[in-house]
Amino acid sequence: MQGRESKGSPSPTGTLVYTDSMSEPASKTFYLETFGCQMNAHDSEKVVGTLLQQGYRQVPTVEEAGLVLYNTCSIRDKAEQKVFNLLADYKKQFGVLGCVAQQEGEKIFERAPYVSLVCGSASYRKLPQMLVQLEAGGQRVTGLDDRLTDECFETEFTARTNPHRGYITIIEGCDKFCAYCVVPFTRGKERSRTSASVLEEARQLADLGYTEIQLLGQNVNSYRDPDGKKSFAELLAAIASVAGIRRVRFTTSHPRDFGRDIVDVIDAVPALCDHVHLPVQSGSTRVLDAMQRLYTRDQYLERVSWIQGARRDISLTSDLIVGFPGETEAEFEETLSLMDVVGYDSVFTFKYSPRPNTPALRLQDAIPDAEKARRLAVLNDRQKQIGARRNLRHVGQVLEVMIEGKNPARGQWIGRTSQIKVMNFTVPDGVELATGSYVAVRVTGSFPNSLVGEMADPRLGQSDRSGEHGGCGQKPEPQGAQRNTEEHRGRQASLAG
Ligand code: SAM
Ligand code: SF4
């Protein structure tokens, strides 16, 4: 799998969010670990900010902590199981936050006796009061009753862990109720923040020196401004026009709500990145219907044709599930054929995992795990070939890269292109770069999941923060990559047909 960004300092069990930003040691200490998606990681930044504000100090290990918090994910069975294993390990005061907390509720107190706080994400704004209850000796403090709230978790106290890319949640919850998914049950109903408050946060991030903003939502493009002032596409344009912001990303887009205006605004506004994450889940209309995805294969492909018809070379990534109940071999092959037709730059692939409360639990014809594993391997193999072919088109291009770090052992710097591709590149002897700055890199080679290159003429790089937007390129002219251009035209033709 490729394409999704790293989330700070990944550990084998999740993402460690550690901020040693307190100048005076506080006696109340906490350790927090995050599991799951980027939204969880960003929720944790806000939870950490809230705890610091309440006089707690964050520590890097469970052993040092008075309070151990796990921000959990229950998208698949495995993620959930991991948390329960951890809760059994230590005799500590635990708090369980996030999706497992909301899903299991007070049952957690029975399964894990050292847990004293259980709080779903829809109740995070009440954390300060819950912490007071804990400190007063509360044994079973809960925040579980807010799934129908209209309020978002907005806080000015966010302990951001990435100094260059700032995350902003613009919409929380989900009303789509796909047949396999727990999110509507764990994150509550869909609710958007006002565009004014989102823009204010974007301006604050720019003032702090952030140059890249990533907008987050389970279905980010289902955004509805409560004040009715801006559509999602207009919000994108407004954020991109904040002085100092050079890159704007957004994830995840739901195909049903994906309009042409999103492609138009990407074409029109250079600071919007050349990337759309548009999960399809299956290439079979019958399976999509059983999944309650609200679109057909053809409707999905129509959206893809808008994206591929753009003036800019927009990279396209997706999520795919294999082994949904009743998925036949022929339907699985429809997914493979859709991958061929679309030509994804990368995909996240999942074996269907039965989840509590979801309608798919009632479906017959479960696919045996070994068969799911086989289908997953076939899918990943197919994507490896497609990814390798897709990345070839960049060889010879000069792309703008935001620097994320250095690999001294390999003498390479690491960065991301606007299309969210990982670029490993070399620089001339004696040149030192700063993380978070932007350079121009000539692509010299490609792999299925990454590009390699060398720093181009430094004058082409734009490592200052002059406010000029750079590097979000137009579609490439053929640069010795005629084969790829032909492949692209062929795909356009087959989509149109
Ligand atoms: N809202 C986004 C959408 O509809 O495309 C997806 C958000 S979901 C948190 C992330 C991904 O997890 C989904 O796109 C899906 O591929 C995967 N997923 C969700 N529930 C799953 C399940 N029960 N089994 C396997 N994969 C699942
Ligand atoms: Fe889950 Fe479907 Fe909502 Fe995405 S749209 S979060 S897959 S229910």
- Per-residue pLDDT tens over the stretch 256-273: 999 999 999 999 999 999
| Model pLDDT for residues 202-245, shown as the tens digit of each residue | 999 999 999 999 999 999 999 999 999 999 999 999 999 999 99
- DSSP structure class, residue 140: S
381 pLDDT more than 50? yes
CA of 341 to the centre of ligand 2 (A): 24
Instruction: Point out the ligand nearest to the CA of residue 282.
Output: 1
Contact predicate 278/308, CB 8 Å: no
CA nearest ligand 1 atom 2, residue:
218
- Asked if pLDDT for residue 1 goes beyond 90, the answer is no
Q: Which of 37, 172, 176, 288 to mutate to test the pocket of ligand 2 (most atoms within 8 A of CB)?
A: 176
Using the predicted structure, report yes or no on whether residue 472 has a pLDDT greater than 50.
no
Query: Looking at the CA of 355, which ligand is closest?
Result: 1
Average pLDDT, integer, range 179-195: 95
Residue with more model confidence, 380 or 13: 380
pLDDT tens, position by position, 336-375? 999 999 999 999 999 999 999 999 999 988 999 999 999 9
For the Cβ of 178 lying below 6 angstroms from any atom of ligand 2, the answer is yes
Per mean pLDDT, which range of 155-159, 313-317, 378-382 is the poorest? 155-159
Atom of ligand 1 nearest to the CA of 358: 23
* H or E element that contains 414: strand 412-417
pLDDT at 8 over 80: no
Residue 22 pLDDT > 60, yes or no? Answer: no
pLDDT at 220: 98
**Position 482 pLDDT exceeds 60:** no
Please tell me the total number of residues recorded for the chain in this structure.
Answer: 497
pLDDT at 425 over 70: yes
Decide which of 491 and 115 is more confident. 115
Rounded to the nearest integer, the mean pLDDT of the chain is: 87
In 256-363, at which residue ranges do the beta strands (DSSP E only) sit?
275-277, 315-322, 346-351
pLDDT of residue 477: 38
Confidence of residue 26 (pLDDT cuts 50, 70, 90): low
DSSP per-residue codes, 169-238: E-EES-----TT--HHHHT-S-EE--HHHHHHHHHHHHHTT--EEEEE-TTGGG---TTS---HHHHHHH
Distance 39 CA to ligand 1 centre (A): 13
358 Cβ inside 6 Å of ligand 2? no
Spatial CB neighbours of 210, under 8 Å, sequence gap ≥ 6: 163, 164, 165, 166, 244, 245
Q: Tell me how far the alpha carbon of residue 26 lies from the centroid of ligand 1, in angstroms.
A: 39
Ligand 2: which of 75, 147, 219 to mutate, judged by most atoms within 8 Å of the beta carbon? 219
Confidence band of 151 (pLDDT split at 50, 70, 90): confident
Q: What is the pLDDT of residue 495?
A: 27
User: Residue written as tokens 């590149």?
Assistant: 425
CA of 447 relative to ligand 1 center, distance in Å: 27
pLDDT at 459: 55
Sheet bearing 346-351, strands edge to edge: 275-277, 315-322, 346-351
The angle formed by the CA atoms of residues 235, 240 and 244, to the nearest 5 degrees, is 140
CA of 390 to the centre of ligand 2 (A): 28
Q: Kindly state the helix (H) or strand (E) to which residue 98 belongs, with its residue range.
A: strand 93-98
Counting residues of the chain whose pLDDT is more than 90, the rounded percentage is 76
Q: Which strands sit side by side in the sheet containing 212-216, from one edge to the other?
A: 165-169, 212-216, 247-251
Distance in angstroms (rounded) separating the CA atoms of residues 69 and 76: 20
Q: What six digits make up the tokens of 146? A: 């807010």
Considering every ligand atom shown, identify the ligand nearest to the alpha carbon of residue 363 and give its number. 1
* Closest ligand 1 atom to 218 CA: 1
- Residue nearest atom 15 in ligand 1 by C-alpha distance: 319
With the most atoms of ligand 2 within 8 angstroms of its CB, the residue from 75, 174, 175 to mutate is: 174
Q: What would the pLDDT profile of 80-133 be if each residue is shown by its tens digit?
A: 788 888 887 666 889 999 999 999 999 999 988 889 999 999 999 999 999 999
**Would you say 400 and 420 are in contact if contact means Cβ atoms under 8 Å apart?**
no
Q: Is the pLDDT of residue 497 over 50?
A: no
Task: List the single range of 32-41, 274-283, 320-329, 459-468 with lowest mean pLDDT.
Answer: 459-468
- Helix H or strand E segment including 45: helix 38-53
Q: What is the pLDDT of residues 435-455, one digit of tens each?
A: 999 999 999 999 999 999 999
- CA distance linking residue 454 with residue 6, whole number of Å: 22
pTM of the model: 0.88
In angstroms, the CA 236 to CA 258 distance is: 14
Which tokens hold the place of 280?
Answer: 């399809």
CB-based contact 445:425 (threshold 8 Å): no
Find the 470 Cα to ligand 1 centroid distance in Å.
33
Mean pLDDT, residues 465-470 taken together:
36
- Tell me the pLDDT band of 4, cut-offs 50, 70 and 90: very low
